[in-house]
Structures are given as C-alpha cells and as structure tokens.
Amino acid sequence: MDIDKLSSGTCAISRGLALVGDAWSALILRDASRGMTQFDQFRTSLGIAPNILSRRLKSLTEAGVLEKRRYSERPPRDEYVLTQAGRDFIPVLAAMGEWGRRYNGDGKLSHLVNEETGCPVRAVVVDESTGRPLSDLSMRLEMPDGWQPA
C-alpha cells in the first residue's frame, strides 16, 4: 500500500486511513482514550510485540494524534497522550464499536457509559447541519474543482 498516495489523494477516508488505518493503531488510540499512557500499559493490554508497538507509537506521534512526553529522566521514560487530533478520533472509534456491536455482537461486549448519568452511550454519526443520522441520508460524493481521473 502506497501511504504517500493515500496521504495526498482527494479521498478524505484514505487520508485518515494513512494516519490510523491499521488495527494496532486504532487499538492504541482506544487504550489512550481509556487513560493508558505508558508503553508497558499498551503492551500488556494489547499483547503486541514491543517492536510493533514502538513503530506504531512513533507513527501516531509523527501523525500528530499522540504526543510523546518525558515523565522520567532516570531511567528515561516517555508517556504518550492524545492530542486534540487524537481526542477527535474517539467518536470514530465509538462509531466503529457500535457497528461491530451490531454486526459482530455475539457474546459479552464492553460498552461506553456516560460518566455523568451512568447510562449506556450509543454512538451515532450525524450530519451537523441537520442532526440526522448519516445512515438515513441520501448522499453523493463531490470531487474538488479541477479534479481529473488518473
């Protein structure tokens, strides 16, 4: 897969996938949204090989969705915290979870809960201007002015 091509094309989905489009990256961001910040926390939660985790953390940091912060000089230790771009990805993860719950939801599943009310959260993606769920809208894709197929 040509990441440079994905990152620079006209498709907003491919541009997003170029930043966080693999399962490990999405799961790291899920764990970061749950308050995990340290390498060993991610490794234990995900059961991921250290070299793969290192690469994904570096990639997510370079993409601007995580920020690397030094929390100990001796020994040198860093933590990884969500940036605004990372926090803005949380609703995407929540919507993905709803889709997975609906279409692959057999067995016991975790779920989001509103901390203020204690009620389950059901993520729905809506059109900001109308408030209607995207799944209820008739939509078309418009290409940028001057776009020519390759």
Q: What span, in angstroms and rounded, lies between the C-alpha atoms of 90 and 129?
A: 21
Q: What span, in angstroms and rounded, lies between the C-alpha atoms of 149 and 117?
A: 50
Q: What span, in angstroms and rounded, lies between the C-alpha atoms of 79 and 77?
A: 7
pLDDT in tens, 9-36: 778 888 888 888 789 999 999 999 999 9
Tokens in use for 12? Answer: 């907003």
118: left (phi over 0), alpha (psi -120 to 50) or beta: left
Per-residue model confidence (pLDDT) at position 146: 81
User: What's this model's pTM, rounded to 2 decimal places?
Assistant: 0.85
pLDDT in tens, 60-112: 999 999 999 999 999 999 999 999 999 999 999 999 999 999 999 888 898 89
What is the number of other CB atoms lying within 10 angstroms of the CB of residue 24?
19
Whats the size of the chain, residue-wise? 150
